[in-house]
Structure 1
Amino acid sequence: MRRPTAGAALALTTALVLTGTSVPASAATGPFDAFADQELTWGACAFPAQEGTVPAECALVTVPRDWAAPGNGRTLQVSISRVAASGEKLGSMLLNPGGPGGQGTSLPGAIAALQPQLHERYALIGMDPRGTGQEGGFDPETCEVPLDRISQRTDLDARDRSAESIAEHQKTPRAIAEACQSEALAPFITTWQTAHDMELIRLLLGEPKLDYLGYSYGTWLGAKYASLFPASTGKMVLDSSVDFQGRLQAAFEAWPPINQRLFEDTFLPWVTRQFPDDVGATPEEAAANWERGRAWFAANGVSPDDYDSAFVGLGSPFAWTLAALVLAIGVAGANGETPPLTESDLAPQLDTVSRERFGVPLSALTPQAAAKALADDPADYALVPTTRFAVACNDQPTRSAAWYKRLSDQQGPQFPLFGWQYGIGETCGFWSDAPRQQLPQLPAQVTGRILVVQSEFDPQTGYEQARSAVRAAPGVSLISVDDAPFHGQYALDGNPCVDGMVNVFLLHNSRPGSVTCPGIPLPGETEVFPVAGPVRTPAAARTATSAEVAPLPELRAALQEMISEANGPS
């Protein structure tokens, strides 16, 4: 049978979009031929619907294990979800929460509820990427790490630079790398493979173009999809961006400086404004008390590394509240007291965090109870998520363990919060497998369809990463969010400037140039306290409202915490 020409295939695809029918295999080409004729069977989703979300339906898609050899008979299944457009449909938008390894099938229902204008015009599509299992259903791929291969120490402190301490720290990342590389599926869990899964999903949905919203690692995935399939790429919003024109691993290597900056310049000033009687009245006092809390927790069975980690990756209000609680508890323990946090205006949020993280209400949270809950359990490392490490270490050539040790030596004195710890804990330093495919950079033909959104003090994808990507991809626009510290802005932070600009782009095809939005007040506050940082262009006006007045605040907070957690430190 003669294949249709490119023009005929496009016409066929467009016709099928209008009828809602899947694209048959004859409309696909190359590796997609054998998979594009499958029928999507939509039904109930395996995950429980969260209160306030729009109901979704789910389906399973069969994909080849290896898109480089799609005809070898070995296949996988990935789960997708759909929330249909409530009005006249513009297209289908795939959503990704990042990770690598975040499950995304519950995302459309939440985004649809938070952004009803978007829901009206787009079918929102979620995806549990290969290796992540099915949200609420079958389990994700995991690496089985022998417990006798990892450190059994519960007093690890990366500030200890002895040879014994360094070797002890490196046991766990070495064991994880060896275990994950021994998994048969690990070589096929990569961004290159997942981007091909996305292209198949586009074909099965019958869409001529795939629109996209991705957070954090999802910005890398979206940019690489656009690089591999530029003709299939629609509008893209890349929120909290890595440098998608550079190295993915560079985003992780930047964690020490960007977390030190957030801790010193925004978190400590905020926590002293909120809890001056518990942590200190000035950032300098709070920093000194933070050290006292560190020593107290260490004396009560909490690894100094684990204590430090409680203040790393503070990408959501939940994480800030938890860190404030840990700091206040540590200071109280050092003083032989219990902090009167129940009197704070943030007591309801503190109580929620206490119940979720420590298992007791705030009124019953003693320093000793907090220390017991924070103490490390080595058994947690028996199973680790394959996708997180396979993608991060498979996508591009990795640095050596020796290189990361030198990075730790360099970053530690400058960025002690996480600089000592990061380099000697990097799993990719022990990864020996070379990448199987090369990931291209964005071609000029797609840059005019891409909008990047980035907060100034994001501790998980630094502002400099997004700025570097935009500078290396002429034509991409950047919305900078001044004085904003959280990870994930659009639909999550309640910022009307950000949401308005993104919606105008997606709904009315009017993309802004590179502009600056004002941030919104931090938890418990009604005004923005400006901080000098990498955003050089001031916001046009400081009229952004507080996130508390945005609709569905509980759903918004839960979604932002989910995305922050999915993209947290390994």
Structure 2
Amino acid sequence: MPPSRLFRSTAAAAAAATAALALLLSGCSSGTTEPGGSGPASPGRSTEAGSGRPASDGAPLAPLPTAVPAALRPYYDQKLSWHDCGVAGFQCATMKAPLDYAHPSAATDLKLAVARKKATGPGQRLGSLLVNPGGPGGSAIDYLQQYAPQPAAVRARYDMVAMDPRGVARSAPVECLTDRQMDRFTQTDTTPDDSAEVGKLATAYRDFAKGCEEHSGKILPHVSTIEAARDMDILRAVLGDRKLTYVGASYGTFLGATYAGLFPSRSGRLVLDGAMDPSLDSRTINLDQTAGFNTAFTAFAADCVKKPDCPLGHKNPQDAGRQLSALFAKLDAHPVETGQDRKLTESLATTGVIAAMYDQGAWPLLRQSLAQAENGNGRGLLALSDSYYERDPSGHYANQMYANAAVNCLDLPPSFTGPDQVRAALPAFRKASPVFGANFAWSALNCAYWPVKATGTVHRIEAKGADPIVVVGTTRDPATPYTWAKGLAAQLSSATLLTYVGDGHTAYGRGSDCIDTAINTFLLEGTPPAKNTRCT
């Protein structure tokens, strides 16, 4: 089942799709572990039309005092011990951070993993550039070592740095289920047809939450985005930088904007690509994502029906959507073989389709996989689903999905508190997307059973006094709809909105010379793009 509010960078998603293609062509159907992370979001109305809902009228995020509290000074004064990572050119270290910022204690300190690749020139070193690929739950270190898109000119002038956020990958990772339990969880029906299936779905969410509490109860109350942003300020200090330079994608934009709100005087050149809007509540976020993925599917379908190999017919996107819904219904009744001990269920097929929506480069693979499924072979869609869930060929899951739920359920109150609220909201979700709406409505029930009460609230981020910030939005972005980029840019007092007119999730490093030149110039010279710049 796709978890709600999963936001991954395109680089990670595209890499996952490429891995799925390689596996498909080799006759294997397992996924691969990929960095980054954000996953299926939901489809619905056009992202450019706007959601028609007001932004939060609450107080903006308040900055923290500029002086470092005495209790935190040992963390800011620590020295990192760098060593070779085993990956060419990269060094690794471990940074200490307090588990609880309100009650720091060496006895409960977290050990956070950090990696860097030092600037080699030519040109004067500009400092450190921290990157985060999103998620929440994506490994920033994996992303840096394998997929970070920054070009040679930027890498030459900056030490490229990544830190796995608390609860993620190498940094005190949240753990919840065994791999076999996770296999069963991903196959749970998220379009229940009767009260018995609703009960099974609720039980799956309860069991997931219970597993997280049993295995990671100590850290669960302390994986919020605000705490992760405070960790970033410690890292900035121990790296010796007066201000933070940062490129964040997807959820990484929320992390970066939160940093700017908490530490505006230490906020340097920030790039927030595929932006999230902190002024929205969780239900609105899920509805907007539903709209975003519907927009992405419509673009895919419009392209597909023109292709001779399109398995969804050759009429129009609406008819293609009906054919895809019919395939899902068929799989709900009769899952198909995949060549291994897991059959392709409706839930896994839906996740596979959504995984391919992040980048149009995956569309040919999706056409092939849908055609296979129509003919009783679920291998291709299962490979896409596995890549999305970060399930490797041995059947082991990375911790991204566990960290994703832990952060999301702590950052905002749940979208729904029980099945009756989901039932009442189904018409709105189905209107947003006839194909995916019900799936995403029921998937948004996950935080209802979370063992830790949310500590975050809906708020605006103004970051008054911060240096210029570049917010990047893609007009047909499925996971972080364009309206969110406009919303965040309007809140941040020093932001400039840079628009990519096109498909896919995020824009930097995806082939637009206009986007890349604007961002590289900003990182190297500090000059943001002109107001209202639009790129293709």
Matches for 1:366-381 after TM superposition, within 5 Å = none
- Superposition RMSD in Å: 3.5
Partner of 2:369: 326
Gaps of 5+ in 1: 1-26, 50-54, 339-350, 360-378, 520-570
2:472 matched to 1:453? yes
Query: C-alpha displacement at 1:194, in angstroms?
Result: 0.9
Query: C-alpha displacement at 1:249, in angstroms?
Result: 6.3
Which residue identity does 1:311 align to in structure 2? V
Give, in whole Å, the separation in 1 of the partners of 2:145 and 2:183: 40
Partner of 2:153: 117
Give, in whole Å, the separation in 2 of the partners of 1:146 and 1:261: 33
2:285 matched to 1:251? yes
SS of structure 2 residue aligned to 1:489? coil
Gaps of 5+ in 2: 1-66, 337-343, 387-394
SS of structure 2 residue aligned to 1:310? helix
Give, in whole Å, the separation in 2 of the partners of 1:187 and 1:215: 25
Q: 1:478 aligns with which of 491, 497, 503?
A: 497
SS of structure 2 residue aligned to 1:293? helix
Residue deviations 1:497-532 (CA, integer Å, cap 9, x gap): 10011112111222124434343xxxxxxxxxxxxx
Query: C-alpha displacement at 1:286, in angstroms?
Result: 3.3
Which residue identity does 1:501 align to in structure 2? A
Query: C-alpha displacement at 1:278, in angstroms?
Result: 4.5
SS of structure 2 residue aligned to 1:222? helix
Q: 1:86 aligns with which of 120, 128, 135?
A: 120
In 1, are the aligned partners of 2:352 and 2:384 still within 8 Å (CA)? no
Partner of 2:207: 175
Matches for 1:63-462 after TM superposition, within 5 Å = 63-71=97-105, 73-87=107-121, 88-110=124-146, 114-134=150-170, 140-144=173-177, 156=189, 158=191, 160-182=192-214, 183-247=217-281, 250-264=284-298, 266-276=299-309, 278-284=311-317, 286-298=320-332, 299-301=334-336, 302-313=344-355, 314-317=357-360, 319-333=362-376, 385-402=401-418, 403-426=421-444, 427-431=446-450, 433-436=452-455, 441-446=460-465, 449-462=468-481
Is the alpha carbon distance of 1:117 and 1:150 closer, same or farther for their aligned partners in structure 2, counting shifts above 3 Å?
closer
Q: 2:511 aligns with which of 474, 494, 502?
A: 494
Which residue identity does 2:208 align to in structure 1? I
Give, in whole Å, the separation in 1 of the partners of 2:345 and 2:505: 26
Give, in whole Å, the separation in 1 of the partners of 2:431 and 2:417: 19
Query: C-alpha displacement at 1:433, in angstroms?
Result: 3.0
Give, in whole Å, the separation in 2 of the partners of 1:95 and 1:358: 26
Is the alpha carbon distance of 1:81 and 1:154 closer, same or farther for their aligned partners in structure 2, counting shifts above 3 Å?
closer
> Quick one: percent identity of the two aligned structures?
26
Partner of 1:509: 526
In 2, are the aligned partners of 1:83 and 1:112 still within 8 Å (CA)? no
Partner of 1:33: 73
SS of structure 1 residue aligned to 2:159? strand
Is the alpha carbon distance of 1:247 and 1:476 closer, same or farther for their aligned partners in structure 2, counting shifts above 3 Å?
farther
1 or 2 for the larger relative contact order (CA 8 Å, sep ≥6)? 2
In 1, are the aligned partners of 2:80 and 2:238 still within 8 Å (CA)? yes
Which residue identity does 1:515 align to in structure 2? N
Give, in whole Å, the separation in 1 of the partners of 2:311 and 2:189: 27
> Looking at CA atoms only, which structure, 1 or 2, has the larger radius of gyration?
1
Partner of 1:539: none
Deviates more, 1:422-431 or 1:124-133: 422-431
SS of structure 2 residue aligned to 1:515? coil
Query: C-alpha displacement at 1:461, in angstroms?
Result: 0.9
SS of structure 2 residue aligned to 1:505? helix
In 2, are the aligned partners of 1:186 and 1:386 still within 8 Å (CA)? no
Give, in whole Å, the separation in 1 of the partners of 2:184 and 2:423: 17
- Provide the TM-score with structure 1 as the length reference: 0.70
Residue deviations 1:96-131 (CA, integer Å, cap 9, x gap): 011111111133345677511111222211111111
* Aligned residues between the structures: 445
Which residue identity does 2:363 align to in structure 1? W
Give, in whole Å, the separation in 1 of the partners of 2:346 and 2:230: 42
Give, in whole Å, the separation in 2 of the partners of 1:64 and 1:172: 32
Which residue identity does 1:312 align to in structure 2? I
Give, in whole Å, the separation in 2 of the partners of 1:505 and 1:97: 19
Which residue identity does 1:387 align to in structure 2? A
Give, in whole Å, the separation in 2 of the partners of 1:358 and 1:436: 31
In 2, are the aligned partners of 1:227 and 1:441 still within 8 Å (CA)? no
